[in-house]
Each structure stands twice: as structure tokens, then as C-alpha cells.
Amino acid sequence: MMVKAIQLQTCGLVSQRWSFKPRIVSSFSSFPPIPYPNPYFKLLPTNTVPRRVRFAPFHASSSPLPSAGNVRNIKFCQWCGGSTKHDIPEGEEKLRGICTVCGRIAYQNPKMVVGCLIEHDNKVLLCKRSIQPSHGLWTLPAGYLEIGESAVEGAIRETREEANADVEVISPFAQLDIPLIGQTYMIFLAKLKKPHFSPGPESSACQLFPLDDIPFNSLSFSSMVVTLSLYVEDIKAGKLKFHYGTINKRPGTSPSDIYAYTLDQHMHS
């Protein structure tokens, strides 16, 4: 199932084990708005030292991070149906929905979105959305992780549902947190088991795009802009990495403006 909530407009592991060793790379960084027709040129920060194989964490400044999204207003208890009040429970710091009947506290947790960045003949597979939000715009096959499945299993399922494609996951490529809307993206590199794909029920088209033809001006969400920009930059540099970052919406901008964001806390392997 495709992502139906309003969004901001979002490497060879195989049998080897991860071996991470902290190494300083850069401070907070952000992507500038992406110009067209060269949307992926020089997107990554320039204030970095040469990359290493080991995982390289950011170093935080003393400035606070942008605040996360507001807590959803919960009116009724999910356990007994009683009305709720919103207060800060004793010993906690955040506003919670507290049932006035049974006293239970409703904790709200982020949703995980999983998907595949499919490589085939130096092209990437994109789906055109046939549902809202972002109807008619291009996206990687991705959607919400279901209870009872792993992130890899969910990414494979979403790809089958949206592109009728069977894939083999190669490695994780990017984890992108979007605090404002309570979502975390986990995108995997994958390859087609067979060169067959077609639109699923929530897609109107599926197409392989050469890197120079990726429709950056017609992508669905900021998470897709970031993921594909990182991928193209890695390909141009001759080495794929694993990326982590936080997508923060710029204050006062519309959720549909997919370029109105900063990529903070960017780390990579």
C-alpha cells in the first residue's frame, strides 16, 4: 500500500557483517533547492573530508534542532472509549492523551515507510502515483511497514504491490527521519529478479529512468528528492554509501513544496 498520509514532499552487504567505527566527517548540512534542468549537480555538502569505509557520525552544534510535529489530538481512549484529556504525565516531558475513565496514556509513535531503489541497466524504476497525495507524480515503490514483517520484507511487498515486480534486496541505502509528520523512511537498493514490471492498483505508470532523465521536477515527496539525489551523487562519485539524515520542513512553507526542506544530521558510511 502506498503512503496515504500527507508528507513533506522522501551497499553490498549481502553476507558481510557491518563494521562501524566512528569518524568525523562534517557538521550539520543541508541540501539547497535543486535547480532544473540539472537537479542533482553538486547536491551534497562540500565541507567534508575524503570519505572512508567506516560509518561517520555528525557533530552537533549547540543550536537546538527544529521542533518535531505536534501531538495528534486524541479525543477518545482506544481501550475503553472514554474521553481523554491532554496533559503531561508525572515524570514525563511531553503532552499526552490521558483517559479520564481508565487513566491509560496514549503514546504516539512514528510510522516506518519502507521501499526499494531498483537498479536495472543503469536506470532506476519509478512509479507514477494514481492516488492522493501527490497524484500523478513519480515515486520509488514504497509504503508503510506492516505488523509482522521485517523492513526488507515490507520493501519487497510494496514493490510487488505498486510495480508488479519481484526484486532481490542488495543492501540498505538510506534512512531518512521526518519528525514533523512522524515518519521514518528506510530505502533499500534492489535489483529485478526478472525484467518485468507493470503498474499496480495505486500506480498509473512504471518506468525505468536513466540517471540524466530522472524527473526531479515531478517527484512526489521531499524524501524522494533526497534519496534519488544522494543516489545520483554516489554514482557520479563511483561509490555507493549508506546515508542517514533528518528532513526538516522550512518554516512557513507548504507541505506540497517538495524542495522546501533542509537535510540535517547527514551521516554516511
- pLDDT single digits (tens) 53-83: 444 544 333 333 444 455 678 999 999 999 9
Query: Where do the CATH 2.20.70.10 domains begin and end in the chain?
Result: 71-108
Cell numbers representing residue 259 in the block: 524542495
Residue 242 has pLDDT above 80, yes or no: yes
Task: Give the pLDDT confidence score for residue 152 in this predicted structure.
Answer: 98
Task: Give the pLDDT confidence score for residue 251 in this predicted structure.
Answer: 79
Task: Give the pLDDT confidence score for residue 65 in this predicted structure.
Answer: 42
More confident residue, 180 or 13: 180
Cell numbers representing residue 91 in the block: 515524570
Task: Give the pLDDT confidence score for residue 264 in this predicted structure.
Answer: 97
| Percent share of the chain, pLDDT over 90 | 68
- For 246, the 3-state DSSP assignment is strand
Q: Which amino acid is at 108?
A: Q
Q: pLDDT-derived band of residue 191, with 50, 70 and 90 as boundaries?
A: very high
How buried is 48 (Cβ within 10 angstroms: 0-12 exposed, 13-18 middle, 19+ buried)? middle
Question: Quick check: 202 and 130 in contact, CB under 8 A?
Answer: yes
State pLDDT tens for residues 23-51. Answer: 333 333 344 444 434 444 334 433 433 34
- Across 152-165, average pLDDT: 98
Task: Give the pLDDT confidence score for residue 4 in this predicted structure.
Answer: 42
The span from the CA of 43 to the CA of 9, in Å, is 17
Q: Which amino acid is at 237?
A: A
- Across 227-237, average pLDDT: 98
Task: Give the pLDDT confidence score for residue 71 in this predicted structure.
Answer: 61
* The CATH fold of domain 71-108: Ubiquitin Ligase Nedd4; Chain: W; (2.20.70)
Task: Give the pLDDT confidence score for residue 18 in this predicted structure.
Answer: 38
- For 19, the 3-state DSSP assignment is coil
Cis-peptide into 199, omega within 30 deg: no
Cell numbers representing residue 64 in the block: 537546538
Query: Where do the CATH 3.90.79.10 domains begin and end in the chain?
Result: 111-268
- Across 197-216, average pLDDT: 97
- Across 7-12, average pLDDT: 37
Give the range among 14-18, 33-37, 240-244, 251-255 with minimum mean pLDDT: 14-18
- Across 236-265, average pLDDT: 91
- Across 243-268, average pLDDT: 90
- Across 143-148, average pLDDT: 97
- Across 92-102, average pLDDT: 94
Question: Quick check: 244 and 264 in contact, CB under 8 A?
Answer: no
State pLDDT tens for residues 116-134. Answer: 999 999 999 999 999 999 9
Task: Give the pLDDT confidence score for residue 256 in this predicted structure.
Answer: 77
Cell numbers representing residue 59 in the block: 557533530
Residue 112 has pLDDT above 90, yes or no: yes
DSSP string covering 93-159: -S-EEEETTT--EE---PEEEEEEEEEETTEEEEEEE-SSSSTT-EE-SEEEPPTT--HHHHHHHHH
Distances (CA, A) of 152 to 142, 156, 227: 11, 6, 17
Give the range among 28-32, 188-192, 209-213 with minimum mean pLDDT: 28-32
Task: Give the pLDDT confidence score for residue 1 in this predicted structure.
Answer: 53
CATH superfamily of 111-268: Nucleoside Triphosphate Pyrophosphohydrolase (3.90.79.10)
